[in-house]
């Protein structure tokens, strides 16, 4: 197959793959998501004695050997195994050509907010409890966040642009947005992109408990994540990965690819306010959404659905609600807004990519996922949060938000392909 000599300027999504607390693969997680089921439960990956939070969204029954050769599966960090699972699912879903010329012009942009915490935890133990000589030679390669992009590139022979985004909880969205620009300007014919995270270990859980950003409502169990609800008390830690294959529109059409949706807009803005707390006027989040709409060339009234960042923290949900109203005006009250973190927990660097996939599926099926465990309205959160069960609703244009520590704000705009 000959490659395009000139980029079309349009970028489409042709493959999706995700490992989530609700399951691995679309057929596993999508029906459960629409039903308002929760993938959150008591932590089993580690002892939680002494920790203030004991619930999380774990990817259950995940076996790295299903996605990697046995020897490699036994030594790679969990976040890398998630990334490989997502990539294998997405590449298969896209029926991506096994053509050396095409793969020469196909790149990878997969981010991670933290990287290999399991690898860091184990090697820190060896350093302090045994000796420096007992540290693994794979410590650095399997800890650094960019190795998800590296491994996917190696395994699939993808030799185009290869990079990594690290913007805390905005990582997955930024990775897709940056990959979108690479394809749009013609630097690659396709990109494998998204985010992956595996933070449920002593360092990750301990750090977020110390930061007091995480729920302590352990008695709630599977219902601990309740975005926009008056009684929310913090986010629930989650793990997993979301990976998408995106392609130049003309290239995808020429090879007869199945197209889920088109990426039409991407916006970024900084709070420049505080290292962890969002801007109290929702200014950075608002400007991110406005920039995404401007990039897409659409009016606020054309947005049909928003997959909110919706972490279930008191500040984020209040200020994101304010930001949505500032960005969309009166239209904010006329469309469904939901937080799927109510069912998956917060996947940190993987969140934006998984939520972009959920938005794509909402476009495909005309079904909006709910905000689960929504019981008591908060007067300061007064939008239509699709309580507890998915809703049939035509979605032509969806917006997906991600905001991260450090004041990072990122927004994607996705559109149903009508031509």
Provide the b/e sequence for 106-121 (b: ≥16 CB within 10 Å): bbbbbbbbbbbbbbbb
- Number of domains within the chain: 2
**Assigned domain for 3 exists:** no
- Structural domain contains residue 211: yes
**In-domain check, residue 299:** yes
78 falls within a domain:
yes
Q: Is residue 205 part of a domain?
A: yes
Span 59-70, average pLDDT: 96
Question: Are residues 194 and 67 part of one domain?
Answer: yes
Q: Do 39 and 172 share a domain, yes or no? A: yes
* Stretch (H or E) spanning 100: helix 100-104
Give 201-255 pLDDT, tens digit per residue: 999 999 999 999 999 999 999 999 999 999 999 999 999 999 999 999 999 999 9
Chain segment 312-357, per-residue pLDDT in tens: 999 999 999 999 999 999 999 999 999 999 999 999 999 999 999 9
Distance CA 115, CA 15 (A): 24
CATH code of 201's domain: 3.40.47.10
Q: To 10 degrees, what angle do helices 78-93 and 147-156 make?
A: 40
* Active-site amino acid positions: 169, 309, 346
Q: Where residue 3 falls among pLDDT bands split at 50, 70, 90?
A: low
248: in domain: yes
SS3 content of the chain, % helix, strand, coil (to 5): 40, 20, 40
Q: Which range marks the domain in which residue 136 is found?
A: 11-254
195 within some domain? yes
In a domain, 6, yes or no: no
């Amino acid at each position: 197959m000959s490659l395009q000599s000139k980029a079309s300027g349009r970028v489409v999504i042709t493959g999706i793959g995700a490992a989530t607390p609700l399951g691995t693969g679309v057929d596993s997680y999508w029906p459960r998501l629409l039903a308002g089921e929760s993938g959150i439960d008591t932590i089993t990956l580690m002892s939680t004695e002494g920790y203030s939070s004991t619930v999380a969204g774990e990817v259950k029954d995940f076996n790295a050997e299903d996605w990697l050769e046995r020897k490699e599966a036994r030594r790679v960090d969990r976040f890398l195994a998630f990334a490989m699972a997502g990539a294998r699912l997405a590449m298969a879903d896209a029926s991506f050509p096994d053509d050396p010329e095409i793969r020469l012009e196909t790149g990878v942009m997969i981010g991670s907010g933290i990287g290999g915490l399991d690898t860091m935890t184990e090697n820190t133990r060896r350093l302090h409890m045994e000796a420096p000589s007992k540290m693994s030679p794979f410590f650095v390669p399997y800890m650094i966040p960019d190795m998800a992009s590296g491994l996917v590139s190696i395994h699939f022979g993808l030799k185009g642009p290869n990079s990594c985004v690290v913007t805390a909880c905005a990582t997955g969205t930024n990775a897709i947005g940056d990959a979108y620009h690479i394809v749009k300007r013609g630097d690659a014919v396709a990109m494998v992109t998204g985010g992956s995270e595996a933070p449920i270990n002593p360092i990750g859980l301990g750090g977020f408990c110390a930061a007091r950003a995480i729920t302590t409502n352990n008695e709630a169990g599977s219902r601990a994540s309740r975005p926009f609800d008056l009684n929310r008390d913090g986010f629930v830690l989650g793990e997993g990965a979301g990976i998408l294959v995106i392609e130049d529109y003309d290239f995808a059409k020429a090879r007869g690819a199945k197209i889920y949706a088109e990426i039409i807009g991407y916006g970024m803005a900084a709070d420049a306010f505080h290292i962890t707390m969002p801007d109290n006027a929702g200014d950075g989040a608002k400007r991110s959404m406005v920039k995404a709409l401007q990039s897409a060339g659409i009016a606020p009234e054309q947005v049909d659905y928003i997959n909110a960042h919706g972490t279930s923290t008191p500040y984020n949900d209040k200020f994101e609600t304010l930001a949505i109203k500032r960005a969309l005006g009166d239209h904010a009250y006329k469309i469904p807004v939901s937080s799927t973190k109510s069912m998956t927990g917060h996947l940190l660097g993987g969140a934006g990519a998984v939520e972009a996939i959920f938005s794509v599926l909402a476009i495909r099926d005309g079904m909006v996922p709910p905000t689960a465990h929504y019981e008591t309205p908060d007067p300061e959160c007064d939008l239509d949060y699709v309580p507890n069960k998915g809703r049939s609703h035509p979605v032509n244009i969806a917006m997906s938000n991600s905001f991260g520590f450090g004041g990072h704000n990122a927004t994607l705009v996705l559109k149903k392909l009508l031509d």
